[in-house]
Structure 1
Amino acid sequence: MVNTNWSILMDMATILDILNEDCWRVVLDLLPTADIIRSERVCRSWQHVIFRYLQVVGISIEYPWYGHKVSRNQRIVKMEEDDPEKFKILTRKWGSCIKKTDCVNEDSLTIIRKNCPDLEDVTFYGLQEDALLSGSTKSFKRLKRVHFRGCDSHVHLLLDKLSRLEDLCLRWEKRMELEDDWAESIGRLRLRYLDVSFNPNVTDEWLEKASCGFERLKELNLEGCLGISGLGAKAACSVAGPSLQGLHLGSNVKINDASVEDIVRACPNLVWINLSYCHGVTEDIVARLGKARSVCDRKMRLILQDSAVEGLEKDKYPWLILDFGD
């Protein structure tokens, strides 16, 4: 009798009853995103499974102009163009699973605020201070990464509301004029990644104010910041100290051998430093950095594309890996 009942139960069981949560997550990891989303239509049980899975791994909505790194686990849903109605339908259904998207106008901002409570990564395009700061910021409470593109100069006021922010990108924002109030807002954060590359407003003084909160900083991108010198870069990196693992100083003519050596001494855990197109750096830089650490267990990649360095002996400094961008 027991065996008969067990047989009946097994006949009624589905794969969801047989596999535990870890197993079906491994199965879903192997499926394309479109198949996973379609699978939730099978039945209510499958719907619960798919939602739980996507809430963990997250959905990244990708537009054609999307150019940022995507988490290796996130599921990509592609948008061919700016379609507010499609975006609204998508976020109504999967809003709690969406971790990453672009905010392309005020309409999409309204939709995100209403439907995406767990958003972690967003790029704001061309938005004004009033639009970003008015209304509820509930959907921004979990933001870890923000990229501003062509926004109003005063949207930095939003930063004070983002207590979880770890990654801030302000690349090539000539229009936004990053003045002292931006530096002060950044200084109140505890960032891990900061990209202010190719911004003419970034100076040594600006960098000093912003670096107040650099104690946890892992990567700093100062590429093409023509207003900074080696002194400003050294001061900022010294605040980060052992936390700093990556530094981009490329295309800065005021960077010299002495400042780079000081930075390497102050940041013993640097994994890479980019000095490409730094024409103030001479061929002596390798010897200086090779002796900068008396004991070094961690190798460091030195990127020297279009530099004065060439024809060096290989393996002379085992911890230093030279990369000429070939």
Structure 2
Amino acid sequence: MYFDEEDILHVVRRELFTLRSNLEATPYGLRSVPTHTEDGIPIRKLYVSNLPPKTTRAELFGVFAPYGFIKSCWLRKGDKGSSKNSPIPTYAFVTFSNPADAHKALQAPSHEKNLRGRNLRISPADSWHQPVEDADGRVRWKPRGPKSDRPTSRDSNNSHSEEAVDTNSSEVPQETTEIVAETSTSETEIETVQETAEEEQGYNILDILNRDCLTHILTYIPLRDLIISERVSKAWQSMVQEYLAGIRVFKTSWWQHVPETLTTAVLRRVLQRVGGSLTRLHIDHPWSALNDRTAHTVGKFCPDLEEFKVVGMHTKNWNPLIYGCKQLRSLSFVSCNKLTDSSLVHLVKSDSCIESLMVANNTHVTGLFLTGSNPPKLNSLSFYNCYNLQGTVLCAAIDTLPNLTTLKLDVCPATMWKIIPLILQKLPQLEDLSLSEYTSVEISFATQSNEAFCESLATLTELKTLNLSRNIHITNDVMKQVAQSCPKLESLNISSCNSRKQFPHTGVSDEGVMAICGSCMCLRRLDVSYLAALSDDGVCAAHVLPHLTELTARGNPALTAESVARCIASCHFLKEVDVCGCDGVSEALVEAARRALERRPRALVLRLAGTAAAALQSEFPTHKMLTVNVVDDRSNPNLRPDFVDRIFEDSSDDSLDELYDHDDFDDFFGQDDELFLDDELDDYEAIYAYGLHAPGVILL
């Protein structure tokens, strides 16, 4: 290939300017950057070289976007050379809408125009590459001259890597024109149109937003719509596939906007796309029609699954799950009516990797599946509202669970409370214990001794989290034992422990709360809501806790702002105070919180909905780190100690008198013929139309 002397001078001149422009200053002063080409055309298009391999348009856009609005950003990658083994160097053209922005980009120091450790070489593009500006100020962005006069990409590569880089050129060397004439017309036009389209294509949202922003936006788009939209373009398809490959959590409840019923076939197609990368899967769709093949589908397409939760499914066999998901750590079954002990026995066998198991709202599981299983890694066991759970069976199974550190027996049968002390004596390593919602009236009025329960608590020296909410068996003696035996306690919930004043024993009072606050110095979260015998003295005892971050005392009528204000002033790590429903808390608490934050700045949230302060509807003293919420009332009026159930009052006995005063019931209920089915329902087809089954209909 031969070049004219003038062509070589153009290349040398441009490279010299590139080297000179990357210097911060010349020996004789600041360097001067031209604003127009030699032909007087404003410089809008810049030639960029020395790019690192695999440079993307988004990266190039990010380097030049700070200097002004970019009209187009065209990147030429070295993959179209005559030899695949020796690709041509990578270069690019960046076109600014305003010449002043291009001038700023040229004047910018070299360290700002750096990409992946390389200093980019920036120079103005040749005059025939620059967009033409008419006399009236209009800019012609499209290529000038006929398509046949512009060189193709193949000719540009053969001639020179920097001379014929833009398809906008109207001045083509004679040698290049001869080669173009030798090629076929159809092939030349196709390549020219493709390269022109690439150059003139402006940037889109994929170039402006980074991957983190795009990923956050795509989380609001239904998964089915994303899969359908892949056909838009190759760039969008690549981005969607990259997003789907990065999904780690998927919940089928995200399909609630879809009126269709979720079937196993639909779930299979979804998991084929995203199952390979999932670590958490929740099947909690409200209108699901999943069959027994669901476990096979999850086990096949989700090999790296670590957490699996099922809600409201009627599937018995879950054995394929453990064979396919070798990394499964957590299992949760909620409202699965057909789940039995035989369904769980293979999930917790001796070689199982399950670490956490939770069963809720079930009437078939008895705990027999744990007997003899001896799972080595099971450390968390939770049962909630399992009416058929047998305490004796569970107590025998505890012997095979040496690593159990979390035990939750909430809303269990009333007879379970007698077995709980025997269970706790076998688990001295417990760190998390939950025994909430034991509210059986029959047991509450019987004389119960908590000596056995207190003796079992004496062995729990490693306990860090304790939940005893709504438990009528919790008294001050229990709290004193917890304070004596659990020095590592960090979270305590004793809300609504005997919140009714008519109970035979008062439950937890100021004495029990003071014992806890005086001994458990590691306490971070404390909930003393709905306690009938709690006063300001009990809440004020929390001011000695050095690590307290959350204090909750909802629905306590005797509580005032003075005790809570003292806790805010003394507990320097306190971040949230919830006293919703406390009538005696006034606006003085907000002023005390403001003064405390001035001495010890920190972010603090006050929840005062349902208090005297919220009823005033006045402006509170403000602080930039203080948030006062008087709208979101989180208290439950039915749990308040002074709650009165007015449904069974004497005044309500006459509420139905007006109904029985009617002599003619037809005026109230309607005519008799409207209450019975038509004669046409004698045949079975009409009966089935009304949703009735013929064998269940009894004719009187």
Amino acid at match of 2:544: V
Change (3 A) 1:290 1:297: closer
Q: Cα deviations across residues 105-149 of structure 1 (Å, max 9, x unaligned)?
A: 3144235413332222223333567634448944x2332121224
- Name 1:7's counterpart in structure 2: none
Unpaired runs of 5+ in structure 2? 1-275, 284-294, 300-304, 306-318, 338-353, 499-506, 633-700
The counterpart of 1:163, out of the listed 444, 461, 464, is: 461
Question: SS at 2:458's partner residue?
Answer: helix
Amino acid at match of 2:495: S
Q: Supply the distance in 2 between the matched residues of 1:130 and 1:281 (Cα, whole angstroms).
A: 40
- Name 2:405's counterpart in structure 1: 120
Contact 2:530 2:553 in 1 (8 A): yes
Change (3 A) 1:202 1:38: same
Q: Cα deviations across residues 154-181 of structure 1 (Å, max 9, x unaligned)?
A: 423211111221111111222x15142x
Residue 213 of structure 1: how far off its partner (Å): 2.5
Q: Supply the distance in 2 between the matched residues of 1:156 and 1:61 (Cα, whole angstroms).
A: 32
- Name 2:431's counterpart in structure 1: 144
Kindly report which structure 2 residues correspond to 1:293-312, keeping only aligned pairs within 5 A, or say none: 293-310=597-614, 311-312=617-618
Q: Supply the distance in 2 between the matched residues of 1:287 and 1:102 (Cα, whole angstroms).
A: 44
The counterpart of 1:29, out of the listed 275, 279, 300, is: 279
- Name 2:565's counterpart in structure 1: 261
Which is bigger in relative contact order (C-alpha 8 A, separation at least 6)? Answer: 1
Q: Supply the distance in 2 between the matched residues of 1:128 and 1:90 (Cα, whole angstroms).
A: 17
Q: Supply the distance in 1 between the matched residues of 2:509 and 2:355 (Cα, whole angstroms).
A: 36
Contact 1:96 1:115 in 2 (8 A): no
Q: Cα deviations across residues 37-67 of structure 1 (Å, max 9, x unaligned)?
A: 735436xxx8xxx3xx45xx455565679xx
Moved more, 277-286 or 146-155: 146-155
Kindly report which structure 2 residues correspond to 1:166-177, keeping only aligned pairs within 5 A, or say none: 166-174=464-472, 176-177=473-474
Q: Cα deviations across residues 228-286 of structure 1 (Å, max 9, x unaligned)?
A: 11122111x12312x10001111112211211111101111111011111111112321
Q: Supply the distance in 2 between the matched residues of 1:61 and 1:98 (Cα, whole angstroms).
A: 17
Residue 28 of structure 1: how far off its partner (Å): 6.1
The yes-or-no answer on 1:240 pairing with 2:545 is: yes
Question: SS at 1:293's partner residue?
Answer: helix
The yes-or-no answer on 1:88 pairing with 2:369 is: yes
Q: Supply the distance in 2 between the matched residues of 1:130 and 1:61 (Cα, whole angstroms).
A: 26
Q: Supply the distance in 1 between the matched residues of 2:588 and 2:423 (Cα, whole angstroms).
A: 56
Question: SS at 2:520's partner residue?
Answer: helix
Contact 2:391 2:416 in 1 (8 A): no
The counterpart of 2:419, out of the listed 131, 141, 144, is: 131
- Name 2:196's counterpart in structure 1: none
Contact 1:247 1:272 in 2 (8 A): yes
- Name 1:17's counterpart in structure 2: none
Give the percent of matched residue pairs that are identical in Structure 1 and Structure 2.
Answer: 17
- Name 1:22's counterpart in structure 2: none
Q: Cα deviations across residues 165-216 of structure 1 (Å, max 9, x unaligned)?
A: 1111111222x15142x12211121211111111242211222223332200
- Name 2:320's counterpart in structure 1: 38
Q: Supply the distance in 2 between the matched residues of 1:308 and 1:102 (Cα, whole angstroms).
A: 40
Residue 221 of structure 1: how far off its partner (Å): 0.4
Q: Supply the distance in 1 between the matched residues of 2:610 and 2:424 (Cα, whole angstroms).
A: 49
The yes-or-no answer on 1:100 pairing with 2:100 is: no
Kindly report which structure 2 residues correspond to 1:48-67, keeping only aligned pairs within 5 A, or say none: 50=326, 53-54=327-328, 57-59=329-331
- Name 1:187's counterpart in structure 2: 483
Amino acid at match of 1:274: D
The yes-or-no answer on 1:224 pairing with 2:530 is: yes
Contact 2:432 2:463 in 1 (8 A): yes
- Name 1:214's counterpart in structure 2: 520
Amino acid at match of 1:197: S
Change (3 A) 1:295 1:171: same
The yes-or-no answer on 1:250 pairing with 2:554 is: yes
Question: SS at 2:511's partner residue?
Answer: helix
Residue 83 of structure 1: how far off its partner (Å): 3.0
Greater Rg by CA: 2
Contact 2:518 2:544 in 1 (8 A): yes
* Superposition RMSD in Å: 3.5
Q: Supply the distance in 2 between the matched residues of 1:193 and 1:218 (Cα, whole angstroms).
A: 6
Amino acid at match of 2:482: I
The yes-or-no answer on 1:319 pairing with 2:625 is: yes
Q: Supply the distance in 2 between the matched residues of 1:136 and 1:320 (Cα, whole angstroms).
A: 42
Amino acid at match of 1:141: P
Q: Supply the distance in 2 between the matched residues of 1:321 and 1:141 (Cα, whole angstroms).
A: 41
Q: Supply the distance in 1 between the matched residues of 2:526 and 2:509 (Cα, whole angstroms).
A: 15
Moved more, 275-284 or 129-138: 129-138
- Name 2:158's counterpart in structure 1: none
Residue 305 of structure 1: how far off its partner (Å): 1.4
Contact 1:61 1:102 in 2 (8 A): no
- Name 1:204's counterpart in structure 2: 510
Unpaired runs of 5+ in structure 1? 1-25, 66-72
Amino acid at match of 1:81: N
Change (3 A) 1:277 1:80: closer
Q: Supply the distance in 1 between the matched residues of 2:469 and 2:357 (Cα, whole angstroms).
A: 24
Change (3 A) 1:91 1:58: farther
Q: Supply the distance in 2 between the matched residues of 1:83 and 1:96 (Cα, whole angstroms).
A: 25
Residue 299 of structure 1: how far off its partner (Å): 0.8
TM-score normalised per structure 2? 0.36
Question: SS at 1:161's partner residue?
Answer: coil
TM-score normalised per structure 1? 0.72
